[in-house]
Amino acid sequence: MPPPVFRFAPSPNGYLHLGHAYSALLNYDMAREAGGKLLLRIEDIDPTRCRPEYEQAIRQDMEWLGILFERPVRRQSEHFSEYRAALEWLGNEGLLFTSFESRAEIAALVAARGPGWPRDPDGSPIYPGNAKEMPEFERVQRIGRGEPYALRLDLQAALKRVKQPLIWHETGEGGARDIEAHPEQWGDVILGRKETPASYHLACVLDDALQGVTHIVRGMDLYESTSIHRLLQEILGLPAPVYHHHKLVLDEDGKKLAKRTRSTTLRDLRAQGWNAKDVRKRVGL
Ligand code: GLU
């Protein structure tokens, strides 16, 4: 049997905090215990929010924590052509449609439907528009005019392709068990945009497969994303890894840490004289 493959996949859109340290250290410990490999993936598909200095800081933070990764490090911004190819395939299979509404237009459509319109686990309204019915000539014309657009998964068409129930094996909070995925809670989720040929969901599942990842250890904040990841894996014919969603590290007030909470960034703790052992103790490892 080939060794299991784990990965830590931070986004360089801010300085890492104790929650990221917990995730990286847990990946490291679990990979070591399983005799597996640990990969680093830089999830930098969003050019408006990702910056080279944050990526540099990630590498320094990991070195400080004593975490060694296999080489090479995968940077998603270097693989846009692979994501584009997957989008093209999905499009040819009739599983994508193009929508042109701005965020404000979507908000207006949702408001017009009255209170209680459903939202996805990230808090965005389920796509309320009817772009799926747009005549082909209009679609081509608007793209030709240079209008911004999103490429959305046709959820109903996608669900028809997969055997139900769709499950994943979970070993994190709550113990080892099979979980039924509910991709319908995401609606016609965005998989790409005019200027970025991949969303987090698409790039993540493609890279996990391309990198041979067998074990995904990440925070509970991404638990619901697993439903859409499992659907994409089934449609694209990719293997299903084992998932381990871990608890989130909270601040002293019991609130979730965020990249903007400066006091708990790893670089600040390092400047205050903390070492990797102190971090392990604080996060309970
Ligand atoms: N890049 C994501 C983040 O920083 C993590 C993705 C994942 O582990 O699947 O939140």
C-alpha dihedral sign at 251, 255, 257, 259 = negative
Whose Cα sits closest to atom 4 in ligand 1? 10
Q: Ligand 1 in contact with 222 (CB < 6 A)?
A: yes
**pLDDT averaged over every residue in the chain:** 95
- 214: confidence class by pLDDT, cuts 50, 70, 90: very high
Question: Is 156's pLDDT higher than 70?
Answer: yes
Average pLDDT, integer, range 213-221: 97
Phi-psi region of 132 (alpha: psi -120 to 50; beta: other; left: phi over 0): alpha
pLDDT tens digits for range 239-263: 999 999 999 998 877 887 776 666 6
Q: What are the boundaries of each domain within the chain?
A: 1-76+250-285, 79-212
- 26: confidence class by pLDDT, cuts 50, 70, 90: very high
For the chain, give the percent of residues with pLDDT over 70: 98
CA of 114 to the centre of ligand 1 (A): 34
CA of 10 to the centre of ligand 1 (A): 5
Whose Cα sits closest to atom 6 in ligand 1? 9
Average pLDDT, integer, range 183-209: 96
Residue 2 confidence (pLDDT):
87
What number does the ligand 1 atom closest to the CA of 208 have? 9
Residue 149 confidence (pLDDT):
97
Residue 264 confidence (pLDDT):
80
Q: Ligand 1 in contact with 257 (CB < 6 A)?
A: no
pTM as predicted: 0.95
CA of 75 to the centre of ligand 1 (A): 13
Residue 37 · residue 3 · CB < 8 Å: yes
Superfamily of domain 1-76+250-285: HUPs (3.40.50.620)
CA of 137 to the centre of ligand 1 (A): 38
CA of 223 to the centre of ligand 1 (A): 11
Question: Is 114's pLDDT higher than 70?
Answer: yes
Residue 262 confidence (pLDDT):
61
Whose Cα sits closest to atom 7 in ligand 1? 9
Residue 274 confidence (pLDDT):
96
Q: Which CATH number fits domain 79-212: 3.40.350.10, 3.90.800.10, 3.40.50.300, 1.20.120.1780?
A: 3.90.800.10
| Contacts with 180 (C-beta within 8 Å, 6 or more apart), sequence order | 165, 166, 167
Residue 159 · residue 183 · CB < 8 Å: yes
Residue 259 confidence (pLDDT):
67
Residue 159 confidence (pLDDT):
98
